[in-house]
Amino acid sequence: MKIAMIGSGYVGLVSGVCFADFGHNVTCVDKDPGRIESLLRGEIPIFEPGLEELVAKNVRQQRLSFSTDLPAAVAEADAVFIAVGTPSRRGDGHADLSYIYAAARDIAKALKGFTVVVTKSTVPVGAGDEVERIITEARPDAEFAVASNPEFLREGAAIDDFKRPDRIVVGTTDPRAREVMSEVYRPLNLNQPPLYFVERRTAELIKYAANAFLATKVTFINEIADLCEKVGADVQDVARGIGMDNRIGSKFLHAGPGFGGSCFPKDTLAIVKTAQDYDAPLRIVEAVVAVNDQRKRGMAKKVIAACGGSVRGKTVALLGLAFKLNTDDMRDAPSISIVTALQDAGAKVRAYDPKAMDQARAIMPHVTLCEDPYHCAEGAEALVIVTEWDEFRALDLPRIKKLLAAPNLIDLRNVYRPADVRRHGFAYVSIGRA
């Protein structure tokens, strides 16, 4: 099949290259000529394990191409996926759908023959209705159907998630659209993926509900971690104990500095706003948003306390800036709130991340960026593990201790066992452990 992917950011690029790897002919379109030129040179604008190699393979086999020519790509396509950004709108927290609707207007002008227009971006309930209205108004003669096909990709494991999905949700009641979408995902039939057809608005809500629930699990275990510190329990043992219950499950029960990234912060806020608009407030999700914001800022207080109650004039070293490992994404990362709070308290901040340094240069101009963990630790009063990169799991602790001005290790991801670290003479602070 011929597929046009409108938007060549994270979701569009990963989805497009995976569809191409299934054997479809895919054109990834973007309005940014610089991004397209980079992709044509084989330069991938994001870090995702395995993505660069997969792009090169499918370009070489002529199944994947990149273009700024939206009309040409849409005119030949059986399915057109909209995968543009839906950031939080400034001022009110609603999802900004201006890019979605602009794409719909451009698509309408280029449609030829029956085409399925698919919202791959995360959109609030009813956005598909508006896309349908826009296209119908612009092209009353066009043969098309609008479907919702939300993505469920974890950054750092997106390719595996796309190729071995838990479920593929498709929102459409149009028989022709259902047939096209079945053919789009037919190459996955060997894995027997659960292709789940529902009404379009239901599909839109499934995405938000899933992210809100996972964010709630993260926030729940973070609050339990705070209680563990007060009562002398171990949050990792608590998480393991409750996770053994099949009704709860063990995933997303890892205590830490709070969630960030491109999905949870904006999606929880967007579903809260949608619920308020429909007079069905989601009090639990509202609390999740508030608690998570407070938690990220509160991590700096933990660092300051470990440094004797003040960091004024002191140097603090941060290991990890991306919101999670295996990505360079720093959107709403806990590190941003921690750095801001430490600097407000008078600290000088040094930092290192294996993949997010380019992002950090733009976001944190007053942070000293270092070439490796050991360079980062030099002369610091405290070393803070913010992101659980694998290379931080086996640091040369005697060497780190010699480099630090004071042997303070604050582990916000519980990478180490307390006894192991203290044996090397560190004052060790972690999350949810006495």
State how beta strands 382-385 and 315-319 pair.
parallel
Alpha carbon 96 to its chain's center: 17
User: Are 136 and 272 members of one domain?
Assistant: no
User: Are 189 and 301 members of one domain?
Assistant: no
**Chain mean pLDDT for the chain:** 96
With H, G, I as helix, E, B as strand and everything else as coil, classify residue 121. coil
Q: What is the pLDDT of residue 90?
A: 80
pLDDT higher than 90, residue 194: no
Q: Would the CA dihedral through 241, 258, 167, 197 be positive or negative?
A: positive
Residue 340 belongs to some domain of the structure = yes
pLDDT, tens digit, for every residue of 134-170?
999 999 999 999 999 999 999 999 999 999 999 999 9
| Domain that includes residue 346, residue range | 226-429
pLDDT higher than 70, residue 191: no
pLDDT band at 357 (very low <50, low <70, confident <90, very high): very high
Q: What percent of the chain has pLDDT over 90?
A: 95
410 DSSP β-pair partners: 384, 429
DSSP 166: S
- pTM summary value: 0.93
pLDDT band at 294 (very low <50, low <70, confident <90, very high): very high
Residue 26 belongs to some domain of the structure = yes
Question: How many angstroms separate the CA atoms of 408 and 427, rounded?
Answer: 5
pLDDT higher than 70, residue 193: no
User: Are 99 and 147 members of one domain?
Assistant: yes
pLDDT band at 198 (very low <50, low <70, confident <90, very high): very high
Listed residues 182, 198, 214: the one ending a domain:
198
User: Are 24 and 166 members of one domain?
Assistant: yes
User: Are 193 and 230 members of one domain?
Assistant: no
User: Are 68 and 112 members of one domain?
Assistant: yes
**Which segments of 125-195 does DSSP mark as H helices, in order?**
127-138, 158-163, 175-184
Residue 211 belongs to some domain of the structure = no
pLDDT band at 93 (very low <50, low <70, confident <90, very high): confident
pLDDT, tens digit, for every residue of 267-289?
999 999 999 999 999 999 999 99
Residue 218 belongs to some domain of the structure = no
Residue 205 belongs to some domain of the structure = no
Average pLDDT over every residue of 303-325:
97
User: Are 62 and 151 members of one domain?
Assistant: yes
CATH number, domain with residue 415: 3.40.50.720
Residue 434 belongs to some domain of the structure = no
Listed residues 183, 198, 213: the one ending a domain:
198
pLDDT higher than 80, residue 38: yes
Residue 251 belongs to some domain of the structure = yes
The angle formed by the CA atoms of residues 35, 41 and 46, to the nearest 5 degrees, is 50
Q: What percent of the chain has pLDDT over 70?
A: 99
CB 188 within 8 A of CB 165: yes
Average pLDDT over every residue of 304-323:
97
User: Are 22 and 134 members of one domain?
Assistant: yes
Average pLDDT over every residue of 365-392:
97
User: Are 293 and 231 members of one domain?
Assistant: yes
Q: Residue 125, CB half-sphere, CA atoms under 13 Å: how many?
A: 15
Name the catalytic one among 18, 263, 370, 376: 263
pLDDT, tens digit, for every residue of 232-272?
999 999 999 999 999 999 999 999 999 999 899 999 999 99
Residue 221 belongs to some domain of the structure = no
DSSP 234: B
Question: How many angstroms separate the CA atoms of 325 and 318, rounded?
Answer: 14
The reply to whether 28 belongs to the active site is no
User: Are 415 and 348 members of one domain?
Assistant: yes
Q: Which residue has the tokens 């894995």?
A: 191
User: Are 80 and 164 members of one domain?
Assistant: yes
Q: What is the pLDDT of residue 334?
A: 97
Q: What is the pLDDT of residue 7?
A: 97
pLDDT band at 92 (very low <50, low <70, confident <90, very high): confident
Say how many domains are in the chain: 2
Q: What is the pLDDT of residue 434?
A: 80
pLDDT band at 125 (very low <50, low <70, confident <90, very high): very high
Least confident among 139-143, 191-195, 372-376, 393-397: 191-195
Average pLDDT over every residue of 170-182:
97
User: Are 361 and 251 members of one domain?
Assistant: yes
pLDDT band at 189 (very low <50, low <70, confident <90, very high): confident
pLDDT higher than 90, residue 91: no
